[in-house]
Chains A and B, each alone.
Chain A
Amino acid sequence: MEAFTTHTGVGVPLRRSNVDTDQIIPAVYLKRVTRSGFEDGLFAAWRGDEHFILNQEPFKAGSVLVAGPDFGTGSSREHAVWALMDYGFRVVVSSRFADIFRGNAGKQGLVAAQCSQSDVELLWKLLESEPGTPVTVDLTDKTVRAKDLVAPFEIDDYTRWRLLEGLDDIALTLRHEAEISAFEGNRQTWLPTTDPLQAV
């Protein structure tokens, strides 16, 4: 995973709450077995509308999405994070994220920056009145900055550390292999396995 310290890019105001992962990327795009190229599926239904924010300059080149509360609800599809990142987004700002989406984002290096709803509203107003305003997201001091606005955001310390260091979760866990093996040695013997059953 690529390390993240700070990022500056075009902010995109998305005035919608409950942006579920079916909206971020419809199921029809999930049939692929590859890990790249999901940008065409991002907000696919909405991008058919010429007035949709990502169809307008300068927002087309956006990399910091500022969305309403309850972003990423619904399906667990990590494709939602891939689609956002493949498109070019590095950060999503919202006052509330769905748990699975937040987790997926942290695994892939997409920063899910949780700001207060009042700061989200201020960002929306700023980005709408002055389109193209650069937004800086600083993971070291946990702030979103745009012009005079400085909005603190929350992200859990462990995810923040992993993002700053660009560390791979699996490698971190495998450092504890001995403990995993010890745990396995103590599991109840009656717990099920998926081994095929003998025909009776």
Chain B
Amino acid sequence: MSRTLAEKVWEAHVVRHGSGAEPDLLYIDLHLLHEVTSPQAFDGLRLANRKLRRPDLTIATEDHNVPTVDIDKPIADPVSRTQVETLRRNCAEFGVRLHPMGDLEQGIVHVVGPQLGLTQPGMTVVCGDSHTSTHGAFGALAFGIGTSEVEHVMATQTLPLRPFKTMAINVDGELRPGVTAKDIILAVIAKIGTGGGQGYVLEYRGRAIEKLSMEARMTVCNMSIEAGARAGMIAPDETTFDYIKGRPHAPSGTDWDAAVEYWKTLRTDDDATFDAEVHIDADELTPFVTWGTNPGQGLPLGASVPDPEQIVDENERVAAEKALTYMGLEPGTPLRDIRVDTVFLGSCTNGRIEDLRAAADVLKGKHVASGVRMLVVPGSMRVRKQAEEEGLDKVFLDAGAEWRQAGCSMCLGMNPDQLKPGERSASTSNRNFEGRQGKGGRTHLVSPLVAAATAVRGTLSAPADLEN
């Protein structure tokens, strides 16, 4: 029977099929942990006197709470410090490998896994973090779970789940220069809405996707959750194999050959059908930015702030009105006229070396606009090291940006990097929710290229605007 990529990976991991309403029991190949969603799960194990079944399939890092300056000093916020110390104690007690602050492999959990070669095609990957969808870029079935499920995976290395439906996101044609993976995914979310992917695994396909680098594919899959989908996938190909080869945990020798042979079968059969299909024409995409308070409220940079009065659906109209009030925006304002205080380059969406390179390329020889602060936060310490070897840190510093240590940073208000009430950011992160980057903060989601150009002009801009 012909099957989609997601169905193949699912079937390969069924420990037992559920009967009737009972879900399937799915085996988990890799469990990623961080300090925020794990403490209550470890506690649950202790209370029930249970072991962590497979510490050898589990790895932890510190990311959400960590400061990105002065990391050699104790974390100033006592509550954050307790959470990080709790993770360290728990990992020691249960035998879990941990990359703590200061370690070369420390960083955002979704940057660290792929970088170590732990994320491979056809695997099931979970983490108590919704952006686990990132790992789907390798053709893995990867999704975020809640803390109860974290405890369940710790205790059993499985999860009871009902199969997802499948949705093809066909991105045909070719991206124009200056248009990136971030613009693709923001356009996808604007098209299908924040609930459009609920219950589905999205499979991104088509010529424009095949041409993306591995890191760009991760950007696309990362934000699948913003369309409501727990997972997004891209079929593995030579780009995928080249990325994995030689990484610390990649198979080698005859194992490599056997793995690649299997990985090559991980594609949707030609005659398989999806439960839903969406088409996007890459040629028509331009840099995309959000204007509202959910990631579906986005428009091409050349557009203006929408007028809620013209939105027919009542719920959407009310949502738009509330969003504009929160964002302090007037209908009809050209998006290019929106002035920002802060530019944030980083996060599990856009904190990889290619993102830093793209932004540095725009910033080279230019300066951040007066009154604007720009934070550049590498997704991991290894990304930071690589960037420094390439001299990118100098480009950022010369342009007047801040060059930070690795962590989730300003993607979410759990660490010292936050917006103040009323402050406005252009951010390469993934969520523009109210208060996400700090209470009262206003977020516009953008690509690294738009972030860099915006930093230079002080208003939402694309690199092409700098040439005028």
Task: Tell whether A and B belong to one assembly.
Answer: yes
Distance in Å from the Cβ of A169 to the closest Cβ of chain B?
A: 6
Given the complex of chains A and B, what is the CA–CA distance between A200 and B221 in angstroms? 34
Q: Are A74 and B130 in contact (CB under 8 A)?
A: yes
- Cβ of B137 within 8 Å of any chain A Cβ, yes or no, is no
Q: Does B213 contact A (CB under 8 A)?
A: no
Q: How many residues of B are counted as interface, with CB atoms below 8 angstroms from the partner's CB atoms?
A: 86
Query: Which of A22, A45, A180 interacts with B158 by CB under 8 Å?
Result: A180
Chain A residues in 8 Å Cβ range of B65: 31
Q: Are the C-beta atoms of A69 and B434 separated by less than 8 Å? A: no
In the complex, which residues 97-111 of chain A have their Cβ closer than 8 Å to any Cβ of chain B? 97-100, 103-104, 107-108
CA distance A99 to B82 in the complex (A): 30
Judge whether A172 and B129 touch: CB under 8 Å: no
Question: Are B228 and A73 within 8 A (Cβ)?
Answer: yes
CB atoms of B148 and A32 under 8 A apart: no
| Stretch from A83-91, A144-152, A182-190 forming part of the interface with B | A182-190
- Bound together, the chains give a CA A57 to CA B59 distance in angstroms of 48
Assess whether B39 is in contact with A17, with CB atoms less than 8 Å apart.
no
**Residue of B21, B80, B250 contacting most chain A CB atoms (<10 Å):** B21
Report the interface size for chain A: residues with CB under 8 A from the other chain: 62
Asked if B71 lies at the interface with its beta carbon under 8 angstroms from chain A, I say: no
With both chains docked as a complex, state the minimum distance between the C-beta of A110 and any C-beta of chain B, in angstroms: 11
Contacts A27-B414, A180-B157; A158 near B22 (Cβ below 8 A): yes
Q: A27-B412, A170-B48, A194-B118 are in contact. Are A96 and B198 (CB under 8 A)?
A: yes
Given A15-B318, A170-B152: A22 and B79 within 8 A (CB)? no
State whether A30 touches B152 (Cβ < 8 A): no
Of all chain A residues, which has the CB nearest B27? A183
Contact of A156 among B162, B256, B259 (CB under 8 A): B162
Q: B425-447: which have CB < 8 Å to A?
A: 431, 433-436, 439
**When the two chains form their complex, are residues B80 and A31 in contact, meaning their CB atoms are under 8 A apart?**
yes
Establish whether residues B15 and A78, one from each chain, have CB atoms under 8 Å apart when the complex forms. no
Minimum CB–CB distance from B288 to chain A (whole Å) comes to 19
In whole angstroms, what is the CA distance A74 to B430 when docked?
A: 10
Decide: B146 and A156 in contact? CB cutoff 8 A: no
Residue B40 at the chain A interface, CB threshold 8 Å = yes
Asked if B144 is an interface residue, CB under 8 A from chain A, the answer is yes
Select one of A28, A174, A176, A195 contacting B15, CB under 8 A.
A176
Tell yes or no: B354 within 8 A of A by CB. Answer: no
Please pick, from A17, A79, A156, the residue contacting B318 in the complex, using a CB distance under 8 A. A17
CB of A174 within 8 A of CB of B155, answer yes
Q: List 15 A–B pairs whose Cβ atoms lie within 8 Å, in order of A's numbering.
A: A16-B319, A18-B294, A20-B294, A28-B439, A33-B82, A33-B83, A74-B226, A74-B431, A76-B146, A77-B37, A78-B40, A99-B229, A103-B149, A170-B50, A194-B56
